[in-house]
Amino acid sequence: MENKLRVLRAENKWSQAELAQRLGVSRQAVNAIETGKHDPSLTLAFSIAEVFSLSIEEVFDPKS
């Protein structure tokens, strides 16, 4: 599943560690999601969308 996490994170000038801190997960988790190696759970996907004040559909593309 593709996502815009890296772009959104860059727009906010956050490092992976900073985003991980906001989400309450490890930096490795953020990296794995960004690189498409890990699809987050619904709970984490909601948290990610909330951190960027967006909807889940605006962050993740389930069709890809």
Partner 1 sequence: MTDKLEDTEKRFLKNFGLHIGMFLGLLVVQTFALELFDLATWAKVAVTVAPVVPILFLVLSVVRNYRQMDEFMQRVHGESLLWTIGILGAASFTYGMLERVLGIVPPISVIWLLPTVAFMSGLVNFILMRHYDGE
Torsion of CA 20, 21, 22, 23, to 10 degrees: 50
Asked whether position 44 contacts partner 1 by CB under 8 A, the answer is yes
CB of 47 to partner 1, least distance (A): 11
Asked whether position 12 contacts partner 1 by CB under 8 A, the answer is no
Q: How far apart are CA 54 and CA 17, in angstroms?
A: 20
φ and ψ of 49, to 5 deg: -60, -40
Asked whether position 25 contacts partner 1 by CB under 8 A, the answer is yes
- Interacting residue ranges for partner 1, rule: CB under 8 A: 17, 20-21, 23-29, 31-33, 35, 37-38, 40-41, 44
